[in-house]
Amino acid sequence: MMHFGLTDEQAMIRQTVREFAEREIAPLARHVDESGEFPAETFRKMAALDLMGLPFAEEWGGAGADAVSTAIAIEEVARCCGSTAIAYSAHIGLGSAPIAMFGNDEQKERFLKPAAQGKHMAAFGLTEPHAGSDAGATRTTAVLEGDEWVINGSKMWITNAPVAGHVIVTAVTDKEKGKKGISAIIIPGGTPGMTFGKPEEKMGLRGSVTTAIQLENVRVPKENLLGERGKGFIQFLQVLDGGRVGIGAMSVGLAQGAYEAAVQYARERESFGQPIGKHQSVANMIADMEVAVSAARLLVYQAAWLKQLGKPYTREAAVAKLYASEASEKVCRDAIQIMGGYGYSQEFPVERMYRDTRLLTIGEGTSEILRNVISHGVLGLR
């Protein structure tokens, strides 16, 4: 039997995060966007609500919430501010989740627990100048010298990098083994030899600090190897499944925010003696937006539900992220169209939402890569 309603816990999390986001995040969203200022104080307040480690076990500083609850939290943050949402999603899904999934107890105590408690942010360094969609082309290397890994290479487009208490990086540990020679290693923040480029000046999500990372003879204890040596490629594929659910949830939140603004405007703005929502062309756009947001939300929750059941969800995560991100872009664009010049103005949030959502068809798997993932799963052909 299938139940499409939220549990009491999930409904409570939605209410809690929505109230917090409307009170603490929404009033700062324009400033965060215009200044590019990382909203550190917001995350300290989120930590006080146990949101920074929402899906992780209480033993490791988390709240023990399920995957659907986590998607709901990301969605509600994104409804008010995309920059805050992507930093939050990356902290949980990319920077912290791999340690929860593959780390030993010592690593969880040292790295996951403070991240889950909100004492520091977390980051994941996968993308390189020559390894984006083809992440198996990683050139960063890690050589074991005695009891230390010596890491050299570079990463780019890394969310949270300079504000993170730790960065998980992928590196080649066995060159002759190809993808089976890639491992994941945890680098504590402030480690000598790890430096960051200037924050990228982006079209949207401007308050999310995104930089390149240079790794020059970075030395960390051999115990910082995450999971098994040579399993890094397999690990990050699993991590990206969860990350795609997070990006899908973020897409839903941005679309919901733009949709609500368009609905309010269509009710209040009058032309030719009546609310513009009574004009069929506008009413049809509102209807299409409702369909898109509702369908995207169901796909994201389905993927999250499969995740929390421990079932395979690679294809479902790809479907959810693909549909939600593309739907969000259209919903935000249509919201601007409905609002006309006001929608194009920075006085209203929809133009920011449109700029923010544009990344979501690119990051954590482009739409083109996701269509490959989906078609391979359907056809069984590679």
CB 101 within 8 A of CB 235: yes
Q: Is the pLDDT of residue 265 over 80?
A: yes
Structure tokens at 31: 């400033």
Please say whether the structural domain 123-232 has been given the CATH code 3.20.20.70.
no
Looking at 24, 316, 326, 364, which residue is catalytic?
364
Q: What CATH class has 234-379? A: mainly alpha
Q: Name the burial class of residue 337, with classes exposed (0-12), middle (13-18) and buried (19+) by CB atoms within 10 angstroms of its CB.
A: middle
Structure tokens at 241: 């499944």
Dihedral, 173, 179, 180, 186 alpha carbons, nearest 10: 50
Q: Which CATH architecture has domain 8-121?
A: Orthogonal Bundle (1.10)
d(CA 363, CA 349): 22
Across the range 323-347, mean pLDDT stands at: 97
Q: Is the pLDDT of residue 1 over 90?
A: no
Hunting for tokens 């730790």 — which residue is that? 166
- Domain residue extents for the chain: 8-121, 123-232, 234-379
Q: Is the pLDDT of residue 268 over 80?
A: yes
Is residue 145 very low, low, confident or very high in pLDDT (cuts 50, 70, 90)?
Answer: very high
Q: Is the pLDDT of residue 71 over 70?
A: yes
d(CA 334, CA 134): 33
Mean pLDDT lowest among 79-83, 175-179, 327-331: 175-179
What's the whole-number average pLDDT of the chain? 96
Res 382: pLDDT = 72
Q: Is 290 a catalytic residue?
A: no
The predicted-structure confidence for 272-297, as pLDDT tens digits, reads as follows 999 999 999 999 999 999 999 999 99
Res 134: pLDDT = 73
Q: Which are the contacts of 315, defined by CB distance < 8 A and separation ≥ 6?
A: 373, 374, 377, 378
Q: Tell me which residue of 121, 150, 274, 138 sits closest to 211, measured CA to CA.
A: 121
For residue 209, the tally of other CB atoms under 10 A from its CB is 24
Q: Is the pLDDT of residue 205 over 80?
A: yes
The predicted-structure confidence for 10-69, as pLDDT tens digits, reads as follows 999 999 999 999 999 999 999 999 999 999 999 999 999 999 999 999 999 999 999 999
Q: Is the pLDDT of residue 2 over 80?
A: no
Is residue 137 very low, low, confident or very high in pLDDT (cuts 50, 70, 90)?
Answer: confident
